[in-house]
Amino acid sequence: MTSATVAAETRRAVRRRPLRVPRIALHGFLAVTALVWLAPVLWAVYTSFRPYADTAKHGYVSLPHAFGFANYRHAWTQGEIPKHFWNSMIVTIPAIVLILLFAASVAFVVSRFSFWFNVPLLIFFMAANLLPQQVIITPLYELYLRLPLPGWLSDTGLFYDSYLGLIAINVAFQTGFCTFVLSNYMKTIPKSLGEAARVDGAGVVRQFFGIILPLCKPAFAALATLEFTWIYNDFLWAVVLMSSGDKRPITSSLTNLSGLYFTDNNLISAAAVLVALPTLLVFAGLQRQFISGLTLGATKE
């Protein structure tokens, strides 16, 4: 490991100098590609600072005659963004907790024990996450209209038009992916830890909560970041299963800003930027974990 690596390093160092021109070309290519990559987003942000009257008169590709945060102010109040953002949080955060709990439970059983049902169980969960949403939407809607919930959990007494209903479908839909990732991750936790605990007399529950879960913290962080993005950005479940405009999550506040006949696209750009901010903040803050999250299930440690 040592002499070979040293040799490799020196060889790499030696090779680095003559590669200067290709390196510059690479930098140039990446810089240009990055700019092109950002351009559409920057364009939308630029539009969001211009009032509709300005772009109606001069077209979107023009220098601004008026520039400011007016659209943002309107989007904030008209789109009722704080209220809908709060609705999103009411759905997203409990959903993430439940998803991780369920996924960890199934992953634990499947990875630490060799039952006959391990493989079919994993298939059962994973395949559920790979189906398109439209496929099940109508029977789900009918089901929700009939499944009762106690009054203190739901205004309507049903799964329909209730936060719990939205949480439940997000949990059901996303658990598969997390189960697969966590089962792979848990396989890398040494068996010896489990053996030692069992010798000490700890039961399954104690092993799960006391040993395995704490070790999965990095995986949880990564998965939580991913799930936040996916659940926060979901649109279809909310639109079909939640009929009260007031309770809908933030993705619906974008459609609220479309008028009866007339749509102020600049206003919607501003709203879209505001709606995207939390996902961008979560992404930026947890970037390292975010990127590792997507690959936990793919490569073995």
* Binding positions for another protein, 79-98, rule CB under 8 A: none
Minimum distance of another protein from residue 263's CB (angstroms)? 7
Rule CB under 8 A: is residue 130 a binding residue for another protein? yes
| Residue number, 103 or 224, with CB nearest to another protein | 103
Applying the rule CB under 8 A, the residues between 200 and 229 that interact with another protein are 203-205, 208, 229
Neighbour tally for 202: CB within 10 Å: 16
41 binds another protein (CB under 8 A): yes
Q: Does 10 bind another protein (CB under 8 A)?
A: no
- If one asks whether residue 131 binds another protein (CB under 8 A), the answer comes out as yes
Taking the complex as a whole, the smallest distance from the CB of residue 81 to another protein amounts, in Å, to: 14
Q: Under rule CB under 8 A, which residues in 262-301 are in contact with another protein?
A: 262-263, 265, 268-269, 272, 275-276, 279-280, 283-284, 287, 291-292, 294-295, 297-300
Considering the rule CB under 8 A, would residue 137 count as an interface residue with another protein? yes
In Å, how far are 34, 38, 135, 171 from 31, measured between CA atoms? 5, 11, 42, 40
Pick the closer one to another protein by CB: 87 or 179.
Answer: 179
102 lines the binding site for another protein (CB under 8 A): yes
Beta bridge partners of 148: 158
Q: What is the distance between the alpha carbons of residues 27 and 110, in angstroms, rounded to a whole number?
A: 46
43 binds another protein (CB under 8 A): yes
Mark 119-137 as b/e (b = at least 16 C-beta within 10 Å): eebbeebbebeeeeeeeeb
Of 49, 72, 180, 220, the residue at the interface with another protein (CB under 8 A) is: 180
Residue 189 C-alpha from the chain's centroid: 26
Contact call for residue 240 and another protein (CB under 8 A): yes
The reply to whether 258 sits near another protein by the rule CB under 8 A is: yes
H or E, element range at 71: helix 70-78
134 binds another protein (CB under 8 A): yes
Q: CA–CA separation, 271 vs 277, rounded Å?
A: 10
Burial of 18-43, coded b for 16+ CB within 10 Å and e otherwise, reads eeeeeeeeeeeeeeeeeeeeeeeeee
Tell me the per-residue interface mask from 106 to 125 with another protein, x by CB under 8 A, - otherwise.
Answer: x-xx---xx--x-x-xxxxx
> What backbone torsions phi and psi does residue 221 show, to the nearest 5 degrees?
-60, -45
Applying CB under 8 A, the span of 65-73, 86-94, 128-136, 211-219 interacting with another protein comes to 128-136
Cα 100 from Cα 187, distance rounded (Å): 17
Backbone angles phi, psi at 201, to 5 degrees: 95, 10
